[in-house]
Structure 1
Amino acid sequence: MSQDRSNSISACSMLVASSVGCFAFGLFYLLGNSSPAINRFLSVYPPSGALSGVLLFGTLIFFLSWIGLAVFWGKRPPSCSFAVKIALALLTGSLLLTFPPLIRLL
């Protein structure tokens, strides 16, 4: 595998994985605020409440998706424009999930 191809795979997988992690933060934040049972489940460290679980599970999803994408795209690398489009869509979704007026509507 050439060095340029390896760097491209690493960059694309990191870009999309970080966006997946941000989307997971937003989703867990929304779920924690909408359901008392999920809020209790996400309260890993009681003094910080559900935020501790949001951070823990969001970070876990980020690392797992980074590893999974690097392995998957190692066999068949994506185009960088595809990875950027996916990342922008996920980041837009994560911003909407943490936008207070939208949360009040849901």
Structure 2
Amino acid sequence: MTKLTADWPDDADGDVFRRLAEAGFDFDKSWVLDFNVDFTNWPPPEAALELLRSMFGNLAAHPPERGCLGYVLFQVVSPVSYEGVTSIQRRTSSAMQPFGGVCESWGVMH
């Protein structure tokens, strides 16, 4: 099991990793990771959804409600690493930028 490490940057994702480590999270095991792509305009263009499907498979759309932006959720099964999570976020945000989308949030149920 991965122990608390100073290698995680002092940012929101690093904070999540520190909380997971403090809770005894098993970083060596594969987990279902949820990633959200927030869109400034709803619904997202079909081309954006097609691109996300080609990258990650199944999607779940969550329209805006109670003042929150709409988002699309996708899942990745893998071990949980800082570089893996942030790489997916960067790659997805770059692909979704032309469509008004950004991937800045993720989670794992444990």
Q: What TM-score does the superposition give when structure 2 sets the normalisation length?
A: 0.32
In terms of fraction of residues, the more strand-rich structure is: 2
- Over alpha carbons, which structure has the higher Rg? 1
Q: Which has the higher helix share?
A: 1
Greater relative contact order structure (CA < 8 Å, 6+ sep): 1
TM-score for the superposition, normalised by structure 1:
0.33
